[in-house]
């Protein structure tokens, strides 16, 4: 499940370059999530850049699909968490393709600790995934976390320069530029990672 953010770049980079995944067929899926944050267009551009890079640089067949989920009518900001959406959508994809045995999720160590506010939402997303599988697929497909033990700095450093300038992690872009104020912008700044600007 590929959002276009730095962690998903790192996750997909592992899938394409780490020998542990060399025998897998990779299926990248991007959800165009439309909500009050207005990050859809930037995430689409980041995804397009990553897919183009893979087509040009890797001699490896892969599948790319996408879908749109619109929540702009929920103006309060209380819209579904990404983890709920990719839980449901990845189950729909897996129900339709018996060759799928794993769903790769770009969560890093800092997302997965019990005291992180996001963690209960990741767990709930996993329950949504399990509940959305058909009876035939239950127990036959698992989440994997290729960057679970990798820091954000290490994810960034592992990417080629072209991809370091292609991800999109800002949650609330302003006129297509990084806001430098949202949680992810501040987290990247604290690690001295420069957020790309597509304008």
Q: How many residues bind Zn ion (CB under 5 A)?
A: 4
Contacts by residues 181-189 (CB-CB < 8 Å, ≥ 24 positions apart):
184/5, 187/152, 188/6, 188/152
Q: Is 179 in the site for Zn ion (CB under 5 A)?
A: yes
Interface with Zn ion (CB under 5 A), residue from 69, 81, 93, 182: 182
SS3 15: helix
Which range binds Zn ion by CB under 5 A, 21-29, 32-40, 81-89, 168-176?
Answer: 168-176
**Spatial distance between the Cα atoms of 188 and 197, rounded to a whole number of angstroms:** 14
- Asked if residue 36 binds Zn ion (CB under 5 A), the reply is no
Contacts of 57 (CB under 8 A, 6+ apart): none
Binding flags for Zn ion, 119-158, as an x/- string (CB under 5 A): ----------------------------------------
> What is d(CA 54, CA 71) in angstroms, rounded to the nearest whole number?
30
Site string for Zn ion, 54-83 (x = CB under 5 A): ------------------------------
Structure token pair of residue 29: 């899926």
Q: Which stretch binds Zn ion (CB under 5 A): 29-37, 95-103, 119-127, 178-186?
A: 178-186
Distance CA 108, CA 8 (A): 10
Matching residue, tokens 């879908």:
67
Counting beta carbons within 10 angstroms of the beta carbon of residue 147, is it exposed (0 to 12), middle (13 to 18) or buried (19 or more)?
buried
User: Nearest distance from residue 73's CB to Zn ion, in Å?
Assistant: 23
Q: Which of these segments, 110-118, 121-129, 138-146, 176-184, binds Zn ion (CB under 5 A)?
A: 176-184
Q: What are phi and psi of 11, to 5 degrees?
A: -65, -50
27 SS3 class: strand
Closest CB to Zn ion among residues 81, 182: 182
Q: Which of 12, 103, 170, 193 binds Zn ion (CB under 5 A)?
A: 170
| Interaction of residue 185 with Zn ion, rule CB under 5 A | yes
Query: Which residues of this protein are in contact with Zn ion, per CB under 5 A?
Result: 170, 179, 182, 185
């Amino acid at each position: 499940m590929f959002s276009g953010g730095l962690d998903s770049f790192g996750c997909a980079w592992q899938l394409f370059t780490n020998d542990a995944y060399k025998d897998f067929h990779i299926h990248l899926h991007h959800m165009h999530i439309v909500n009050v944050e207005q990050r859809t267009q930037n995430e689409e551009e980041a995804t397009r850049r990553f897919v183009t890079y893979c087509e040009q640089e890797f001699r490896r067949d892969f599948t790319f699909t996408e879908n749109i989920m619109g929540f702009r009518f929920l103006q309060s900001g209380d819209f579904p968490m990404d983890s709920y959406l990719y839980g449901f959508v990845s189950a729909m994809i897996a129900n339709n393709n018996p060759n799928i045995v794993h769903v790769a999720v770009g969560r890093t160590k800092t997302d997965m600790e019990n005291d992180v506010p996001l963690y209960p939402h990741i767990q709930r997303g996993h329950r949504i995934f399990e509940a959305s599988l058909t009876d035939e697929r239950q127990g036959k497909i698992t989440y994997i976390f290729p960057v679970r033990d990798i820091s954000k700095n290490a994810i960034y450093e592992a990417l080629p320069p072209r991809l370091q300038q292609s991800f999109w992690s800002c949650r609330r872009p302003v006129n297509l530029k990084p806001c430098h104020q949202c949680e992810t912008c501040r987290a990247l700044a604290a690690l001295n990672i420069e957020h790309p600007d597509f304008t």
